[in-house]
């Protein structure tokens, strides 16, 4: 990419010619269809990390730079196989270390053997500002950018169902929560909540067979909603389901509140726990 090209100008006309070529190449760059970078925080576990995604028509190499011009991600597909191996979409989730400030503020239990870091350490590693996305495939170039902020919302308060509840599999199930109230901690504000995200996942099997994928119900809701109806068509007998509700800030940062698990008969209440 252009940042790897060092130029020593010996004449004004040479510099002008190089500038013209560079500008023309930039003008030819196609925009990414979608670029995103945000913090995902789990208020129930007091951990926090970065998520990134993009969407293109297909790229062989790519990189993402932070606001200081430092690489924070790069990839390379297989050269010579662009027609079948170029990447069109990518989502990545970075490690989410426990944050000491959040443990102290929210009262999460400490897990032995985990490497805790401070909030300042995490925010310094991922500074606020515009992150530049660049990609190439053959002679095509792609460019995009996404903004990261340090505005992190508090998680919503889940009201129902209760952790360990036994629910019917032949009736709709209503998940209820109270709206997120301000920032996760005061110095991560101000925040504006633009929506909620509900995830329900079948976790009955601790380990899936090769090739199988987890059964998940995933819904985005407006900022005015405080309930979500899980359709009975999704629920099956003798299943264990985990669920969570996320609050989304207008710049994309999300905070999870875990709801625990609920189960369907014939599972008994004393058996209703995550595997």
Asked if residue 248 belongs to a domain, the reply is yes
Indicate if 62 and 99 belong to the same structural domain.
Answer: yes
How far is residue 49's CA from residue 41's CA, in Å, rounded to a whole number?
7
The CATH number given to whatever domain includes residue 232 is 2.60.40.10
- Confidence class for position 13, pLDDT limits 50, 70, 90: very low
Indicate if 102 and 191 belong to the same structural domain.
Answer: no
Asked if residue 22 belongs to a domain, the reply is yes
Length of the chain (residues)? 275
pLDDT digits (tens, 9 = 90+) for 215-258: 999 999 999 999 999 999 999 999 999 999 999 999 999 999 99
Last residue of a domain, one of 92, 122, 148: 148
Indicate if 140 and 187 belong to the same structural domain.
Answer: no
Alpha carbons within 13 angstroms on the beta-carbon side of residue 232 total 6
Q: Which residues pair with 201 in a beta bridge?
A: 216, 242
Asked if residue 260 belongs to a domain, the reply is yes
Indicate if 77 and 117 belong to the same structural domain.
Answer: yes
Indicate if 29 and 138 belong to the same structural domain.
Answer: yes
Asked if residue 168 belongs to a domain, the reply is yes
Indicate if 134 and 202 belong to the same structural domain.
Answer: no
Indicate if 45 and 111 belong to the same structural domain.
Answer: yes
Asked if residue 68 belongs to a domain, the reply is yes
Alpha carbons within 13 angstroms on the beta-carbon side of residue 246 total 20
Asked if residue 3 belongs to a domain, the reply is no
Copy the structure tokens of residue 266: 């014939």
Residue ranges making up the domain that contains 262 = 157-271
- Confidence class for position 10, pLDDT limits 50, 70, 90: very low
- Confidence class for position 28, pLDDT limits 50, 70, 90: confident
User: Whole-number mean pLDDT of the chain?
Assistant: 91
Indicate if 175 and 221 belong to the same structural domain.
Answer: yes
Asked if residue 100 belongs to a domain, the reply is yes
Last residue of a domain, one of 123, 148, 173: 148
Question: Structurally, how many domains does the chain consist of?
Answer: 2
Indicate if 101 and 214 belong to the same structural domain.
Answer: no
| pLDDT reported for residue 49 | 98
Indicate if 163 and 40 belong to the same structural domain.
Answer: no
Last residue of a domain, one of 148, 172, 192: 148
Indicate if 199 and 242 belong to the same structural domain.
Answer: yes
Per-residue pLDDT, averaged over 177-206, amounts to 96
Least confident of 77-86, 196-205, 240-249, 261-270: 77-86
| pLDDT reported for residue 64 | 97
Asked if residue 1 belongs to a domain, the reply is no
Whole-model pTM: value is 0.86
Using a 10 angstrom Cβ sphere, with 0-12 exposed, 13-18 middle and 19 or more buried, the burial of residue 261 is buried
Indicate if 138 and 191 belong to the same structural domain.
Answer: no
The CATH number given to whatever domain includes residue 98 is 2.60.40
């Amino acid at each position: 990419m252009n940042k790897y090209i060092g130029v020593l100008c010996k004449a004004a006309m040479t510099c002008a010619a190089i500038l013209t070529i560079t500008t023309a190449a930039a003008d030819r760059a196609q925009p990414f269809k979608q670029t995103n970078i945000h913090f995902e925080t789990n208020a129930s576990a007091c951990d926090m990390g970065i998520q990134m995604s993009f969407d293109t028509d297909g790229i062989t190499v790519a990189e993402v730079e932070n606001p200081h011009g430092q690489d924070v991600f790069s990839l390379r597909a297989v050269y010579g196989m662009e027609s079948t191996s170029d990447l069109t979409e990518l989502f990545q989730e970075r490690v989410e270390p426990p944050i000491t400030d959040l443990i102290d503020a929210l009262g999460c239990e400490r897990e032995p053997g985990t490497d805790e870091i401070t909030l300042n350490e995490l925010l310094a590693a991922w500074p606020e500002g515009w992150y530049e996305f660049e990609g190439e495939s053959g002679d095509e170039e792609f460019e995009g950018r996404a903004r990261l902020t340090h505005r992190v919302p508090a998680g919503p308060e889940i009201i129902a169902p209760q952790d360990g509840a036994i629910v019917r599999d032949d009736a709709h199930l209503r998940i209820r929560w109270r709206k997120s109230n301000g920032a996760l901690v005061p110095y991560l504000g101000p925040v504006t909540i633009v929506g909620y995200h509900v995830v329900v996942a079948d976790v009955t099997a601790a380990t899936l067979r090769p090739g199988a994928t987890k059964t998940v119900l995933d819904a985005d809701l407006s900022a005015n909603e405080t309930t979500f109806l899980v359709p009975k068509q999704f629920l099956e007998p003798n299943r264990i389901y985990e669920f969570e509700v996320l609050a989304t800030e207008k710049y994309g940062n999300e905070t999870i509140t875990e709801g625990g698990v609920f189960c369907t008969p014939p599972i008994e209440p004393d058996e209703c726990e995550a595997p």
